[in-house]
Structure 1
Amino acid sequence: MTASLWRQTPWGKANGGQWRYALRNSLAMCLSLWLAFVLELDSPYWAMTSAAVVSFPTVGGVISKSLGRVVGSLIGAMAAVVITGLGISDPWLFSFLIALWLALCTYISNHHQNNVSYAFALAGYTAAIIAFSCVNVTDPQHIFDIAQARVSEVIIGILCGGLLMMILPSTSDGETLLQSLHKTQARLLEHAQLLWLGEASPEVRTAHEGLIGQILTMNVLRIQAVWSHHRLRRHNRLLNFLLHRQLRLISLISSQRRMLHNWPTQPEGLQVLLERLLAELGQPGCDKYRIARLLAPLVPTAASDYRLHTFWRRLRHFCWSYLECQRWLDRLARYDDQEWPAPPRHSSLTSHTDTLEAAYNGGRTFLCVLLGCAFWIHSQWDAGSSALTLLSICCVLYSATPAPAKGANTMLKAILLLSLICFAVKFGLMIRLDDFWLFCALLFPVLITMQLFKQQQPRQAVLWGQLIVLLGSFLAITNPPSYDYLQYINGSLGQALGVMSAGLAFQLLRPSSDRRKSRRLIRSLRRHFMDQLEPAPRQSESQFESLIYHCISQLSQSQDQTARLWVLRWGVVLLNCSHIVWQLRQWRGEDQPLYLVRDNCIRSLQGILTEQGVQHASLDRTLAELQRISAALANHRESTARELAGMVWRLHSSLSQLQQALPVAAEAR
């Protein structure tokens, strides 16, 4: 009976990994608190909060996030010193400068990703925390001392988190990345089977979006693995190449699907051959010889059958690309310290930034902070700094999330819970304690329990994370201790009202709807595709490919199914067309008039597509012309001409999907 009850508790449910995570983070928070007291810093809870924030489950995540936090804290502290120094005698100038700084940080944070985004978000609300707490300070030197103390406390928390990560390390980032890459390889074959052999259904779209999102997420794992593992840091170029190659395999799968759907008379036994081919690719010892034997029956005998020639050639290219990717992965997994030939160089995965949405979020932050400062100036409320600080944090932190009001609501729940619980703890228990180690002995099991709940309750993980991070602020562990009932209640009320004001702002000035975002994404895709048609495009083939997939992933969590569907359709069509355009540029033949035919095919794309949408009359004419060209080239004496006919057929197959798109006038509405 006792054992059964124990297994129902969070301590009994926890496995070894969860215990390690909870112990590591709880020890880091207590250690940082102790060091801050030893160094006689005035607000040790800042060090505790910093240790909680960088409590990432992997070494690379801790290092990456810690660097972003240090840089962001330094930038924010310097900005706070400058802003407070300039506005020390003019509250309206101070209000304008801090609102402008927070708006700028919101814009930059929304405009970038990963460490840059995190660093500027932190620079924004670090400046707010320091500046709003210094409004009644008249000595510039004291302002600098406060900023210096805050940064010191942040660095102490980060160092403690890093130290405990070395003592109690978690799962290796490298192992996680390699496992994810192998799983993606297997999933690519499942995806090919679904698209080539399955029926058209919503499951196809969901699988396509899911696979794209999985590969883009691995880019974050790559960054973390590079930070934490020297071997993978040496092979960062290879990891980047593998991600690009897996994205290219998705494109090849999609391209084969378009050919299958636009093939009037498919050869007998094709479906069976594809099944056997995918099964063979999934075998551990698969090589080119075994694949070539399977592909041999598909080799066309009639020279004029350009469709079969093209399909066979592209299918073989898919198999060779898959095997190449698998070969590099196997080398990476069984690393034997030998030098390998370097893989082709690729730029980092291209990401799309919605400049208009980032500017809108920055403007909302500016307006909220300026109005909040105006209210504070006129009301002279003692807790105005607490309210403005939480308002700034919410505006900067949640502006880039899909549901900012939901994030503010979660923080409000955490603040209300902590206000009540910490009031009882602070004035009922802490006021009676005068020994730090006794306090830590009581705090440590509480932190462990909260960390376990955070891992065991995924739906409430965000709330538990907020409770852990904000715990130190509400306990207000200062040096020397301060126990002021009125100040605590007033400060808690101010923090709650600050979060509520941010939630109200998110309701009144809502982020763009998914439909508006999808329209902007589609216009951006068209604009970048039109650049691909230029003789010297600004983006390479792989850069445009990763940009397309990043745009598709932007709406992967959207509830608007229509918006998601159209972004996916446009992305797939434009990507298939861009690949064909690049292959047309690389095509070479002996008959000079064929070059004119090739150039005419590329130019025809410029007439059917504008940034506003599809010109259906031009599209219909182009499709008819492409069909005529491919039929005329089918019986040409040169093999390169028949190869060109296959490319034109592929272009026709991809463009035919645009017939489902709305006309320009209808789309504008």
Structure 2
Amino acid sequence: MTYPSIRDWLFSVKTFAASMLALYIALVFQLPRPYWAMASVYIVSNPFVGATRSKALYRALGTALGAAAAILLVPPFVETPLLFSVIVAAWTGTLLFLAISDRTARSYVFMLAGYTMPLIALPTVTDPTTIFDVAIARTEEITLGIICASVVGSNILPSRLAPTLIERADAWFRDAAWYGSETLSGHIVGNALSACRQRLAATVNQLEFLLSQLSYDHTHPEILSRAESLRGRMLLFLPMISALADPLIALRRDLHVWPEGLDSLLDDAARWFGEPLPTRAADMHDDAGDATAESLRRRVAALQPARDALASWEGALLSNALWRLGQVIDVWQDCRALRALIAHDGGGTWRARYRHWRLGGTERFYDRGLMLFSCFVPMSAILVACWLWVSSGWHDGAGAVTLAAVACCFFAASDEPAPLVFRFFLATAASVVFAGLYLFVVLPKVHDFAMLVLLFAGPFILIGTLIPRPAFNMVTMLVAVNTATFISVQSAYEADFLVFLNSNIAGVAGLLFAYLWTRATRPFGAELAAKRLLRSSWSDVALSASHTAIADQRNLTSRMLDRLMQLIPRLAASDDHRHPSVESFRDLRIALSALDLRRSLRKLDSDVTDAIDSVLAGVSEHYARCASESKRESAPPALLAQIDDAMRRVAAHARAQLPPATAADADAQPAPRALVSQRSLSNTLHALVGMRLALYPALSAHSPSHPDATV
């Protein structure tokens, strides 16, 4: 077991101090529920200043929005309980949908507003005249806790988010370096590689939320911009290095063709991946750049086959492998440079090595259907719980409904929310026991606030040391918050065992109901989400290869990459070469190759464009069929023949562009228009080779049927 670090103890002591400050002020000003101020401190506190400030701001806004809704909706609908239940459920579901749709820290506004309204509204339906006072008091108490948490966290030994960003980035670099080295060695399958893919994707996903909190940490805008650029290139590295594996495996294993010098190039590239990250920002942004990267690029260029060699399958594969290796080198150099600049407060200039039309997309992928169903579960839970409460006439039943709503909302975005709701239930049950011990055994002996602080200090500080740990965060935070709430500290000691038992059993019963309801309505898990993501990705591959106009290809690319990063963590590690994560990378490459071919069409001659049109139509039809059948099907042999025909025509045009091999013309330079044509032909050939390898990886040893190819 790892014991709490100094940083964990410091966070816990600061949080406890802020909670006691909030409780003291609330007691001095005789707020109705001072314990809510104490509980709010534990809800918003985070080891890092930026995270605490952002959560504090968004909790204040969410609380105010939920309180305003309660004030507006309770008086006109309190006499129609069933209709009011529908309104509460609709409000919660709508705000929850908005929260799930926002993957930044801002989502907390909608989440909190969604369940704050029933928290305030439902307990007051028996006495609606108190709704305004309750809403105002709750807003004041929570705001007080927010202010205390922010002031203490920001002024007493504050911890910044930027170092955490570097820590997460360094963990990504370690995984990416190992994954890249394995790929350059020809390994693409195995449990360790699958697990590494999952970690790389999870880190990139986590950084998106972390970056949304950086602006609240007094971070310089230049660092924010570079951090976004770093994440964007992290996002590209995994698909790029995976795309490099196919041509390397085809050359080494299937064709047994391995040019001299390629082994040492790959070994040096793998060694560079594992080199220590630069310790000085100047190392990465001076005029000399990265000397190792420049040397690798020169060696890549030296190994490039002549254009007449592209007519052979071996030459086309080698050219494709080197082209992809050059891209990986550019992206890795950018990542190293950006990391160095961020670590040194963003000083200096940065010139991107990897520049491509695909960069700059901002669209994210959302499974709207699954999101709507995820919101339907809390809505239906609220409706059924309200019906049971109204039918039973249970005076404290509102507590059961509100905690059921909170639990269902908390975990609605999870693939398997039921186990998390059950942990919520266990943490709350434990809190009831702790609160009971304090309320009936400890507090009767307390005569002043100083003694109360001393009696609270031990357990709350100990529990607080576990809150920063992801494995314990939810349970320990809930224990702290619920214990503070259930004790219900007031300016004068008042405790009634039957009242305590009845009100708190209601909350525990509501959480048990939430668990059973979630288990019944969401029996499926990550498998369904992964299946839907795969089907959606196939639809986008079909769209990429179709003649349908695409408003912004960069946003389409961004959406496909984002969906792939959502899919990989949902797939179990496996050593199967047909593993869905490996196949999904190939799907992405096919889509990107199709987009490249679409962009090349307007620059090529008609006989080549006709062949490429046939290829695109075949790809679109194949993936549309996969999407409609909801299963992956083998690519048809006719499509292979179409790709081979297109490659033959492109290679023939490339040979026709060669300059005359005469002494007089030996030094002649192609005309600018010819250069554009050669570049287009080269890009087209790379796209076709990548598409063929991705669609038919088992046939990489079979050369395309070029009539005059040297195979």
- TM bin, normalised by shorter chain, reads 0.7 to 0.9
Deviation per CA, 1:260-294, whole angstroms, max 9, x where unpaired?
Answer: 23343432443343112222455455344322343
Which aligned pairs between 1:282-361 and structure 2 lie closer than 5 A?
282-283=274-275, 286-295=291-300, 297-301=302-306, 303-304=308-309, 305-335=315-345, 337=347, 350-361=363-374
For residue 382 of structure 1, report the CA deviation from its aligned partner.
1.9
| CA spacing shift, 1:180–1:517, aligned 2, 3 Å | closer
Distance in 1, Cα, partners of 2:167 & 2:615: 43
**So what's the TM-score if we normalise by structure 2?**
0.83
Which aligned pairs between 1:94-493 and structure 2 lie closer than 5 A?
94-139=84-129, 142-199=130-187, 200-231=189-220, 233-263=221-251, 264-269=255-260, 270-280=262-272, 282-283=274-275, 286-295=291-300, 297-301=302-306, 303-304=308-309, 305-335=315-345, 337=347, 350-454=363-467, 459-479=471-491, 481-493=493-505
User: Paired residue for 2:643, among 626, 634, 657?
Assistant: 626
Unaligned ranges ≥5, structure 2:
279-289, 310-314, 659-677, 700-711
Distance in 2, Cα, partners of 1:414 & 1:321: 45
Distance in 2, Cα, partners of 1:393 & 1:147: 17
| CA spacing shift, 1:429–1:365, aligned 2, 3 Å | same
- Provide the residue aligned with 2:517 in structure 1: 505
For residue 17 of structure 1, report the CA deviation from its aligned partner.
1.0
Distance in 2, Cα, partners of 1:573 & 1:517: 20
**So what's the TM-score if we normalise by structure 1?**
0.88
Deviation per CA, 1:342-382, whole angstroms, max 9, x where unpaired?
Answer: 99896576433222222223222222222222222222212
The range that moved more, 362-371 or 265-274, is 265-274
| CA spacing shift, 1:349–1:212, aligned 2, 3 Å | farther
| CA spacing shift, 1:237–1:480, aligned 2, 3 Å | same
| CA spacing shift, 1:473–1:94, aligned 2, 3 Å | same
| CA spacing shift, 1:433–1:171, aligned 2, 3 Å | closer
Distance in 2, Cα, partners of 1:629 & 1:322: 32
SS at match of 2:305: coil
Contact 2:201-2:568 at 8 Å conserved across structures: no
User: Paired residue for 1:575, among 588, 594, 597?
Assistant: 588
Contact 1:310-1:646 at 8 Å conserved across structures: yes
Deviation per CA, 1:289-312, whole angstroms, max 9, x where unpaired?
Answer: 322343355232462233322322
User: Paired residue for 2:657, among 630, 638, 647?
Assistant: 638
Distance in 2, Cα, partners of 1:279 & 1:651: 29
User: Paired residue for 1:90, among 80, 83, 96?
Assistant: 80
For residue 646 of structure 1, report the CA deviation from its aligned partner.
3.5
Contact 1:29-1:160 at 8 Å conserved across structures: yes
| CA spacing shift, 1:596–1:185, aligned 2, 3 Å | farther
For residue 128 of structure 1, report the CA deviation from its aligned partner.
1.4
Deviation per CA, 1:184-213, whole angstroms, max 9, x where unpaired?
Answer: 345333212212314332333222222122
For residue 563 of structure 1, report the CA deviation from its aligned partner.
12
Deviation per CA, 1:463-487, whole angstroms, max 9, x where unpaired?
Answer: 2221111111110123555322221
| CA spacing shift, 1:235–1:150, aligned 2, 3 Å | same
SS at match of 1:402: coil
For residue 408 of structure 1, report the CA deviation from its aligned partner.
2.2
SS at match of 1:216: helix
Distance in 2, Cα, partners of 1:30 & 1:503: 33
For residue 30 of structure 1, report the CA deviation from its aligned partner.
0.7
Distance in 2, Cα, partners of 1:432 & 1:334: 54
- Provide the residue aligned with 2:281 in structure 1: none
| CA spacing shift, 1:548–1:292, aligned 2, 3 Å | closer
* Number of matched pairs: 645
For residue 647 of structure 1, report the CA deviation from its aligned partner.
2.7
Contact 2:611-2:645 at 8 Å conserved across structures: no
For residue 617 of structure 1, report the CA deviation from its aligned partner.
8.2
The range that moved more, 620-629 or 289-298, is 289-298
- Provide the residue aligned with 1:529 in structure 2: 541
Q: Amino acid of the residue matched to residue 684 of structure 2? A: L
Distance in 2, Cα, partners of 1:250 & 1:622: 27
- Provide the residue aligned with 2:608 in structure 1: 594
For residue 43 of structure 1, report the CA deviation from its aligned partner.
0.3
| CA spacing shift, 1:166–1:565, aligned 2, 3 Å | farther
Distance in 1, Cα, partners of 2:614 & 2:105: 45
Q: Amino acid of the residue matched to residue 300 of structure 1? A: P
Distance in 2, Cα, partners of 1:579 & 1:108: 31
Matched, 1:606 2:597: no
Unaligned ranges ≥5, structure 1:
1-7, 660-669
Distance in 1, Cα, partners of 2:577 & 2:68: 42
**Percent sequence identity over aligned pairs:** 20
Distance in 2, Cα, partners of 1:67 & 1:567: 41
Q: Amino acid of the residue matched to residue 469 of structure 1? A: V
Matched, 1:54 2:51: no
The range that moved more, 537-546 or 356-365, is 537-546
The range that moved more, 321-330 or 35-44, is 321-330
Q: Amino acid of the residue matched to residue 309 of structure 1? A: S
SS at match of 2:124: coil
Matched, 1:517 2:529: yes
For residue 500 of structure 1, report the CA deviation from its aligned partner.
0.8
SS at match of 1:146: helix
SS at match of 1:230: coil
Contact 2:186-2:245 at 8 Å conserved across structures: no
For residue 330 of structure 1, report the CA deviation from its aligned partner.
2.9
Distance in 2, Cα, partners of 1:46 & 1:18: 24
Contact 1:518-1:563 at 8 Å conserved across structures: no
Contact 1:631-1:645 at 8 Å conserved across structures: no
Contact 1:522-1:570 at 8 Å conserved across structures: no
| CA spacing shift, 1:419–1:396, aligned 2, 3 Å | same
Distance in 2, Cα, partners of 1:500 & 1:185: 43
| CA spacing shift, 1:293–1:91, aligned 2, 3 Å | closer
Q: Amino acid of the residue matched to residue 406 of structure 1? A: P
SS at match of 2:31: coil
The range that moved more, 635-644 or 473-482, is 635-644
| CA spacing shift, 1:286–1:342, aligned 2, 3 Å | closer
User: Paired residue for 1:553, among 566, 571, 578?
Assistant: 566
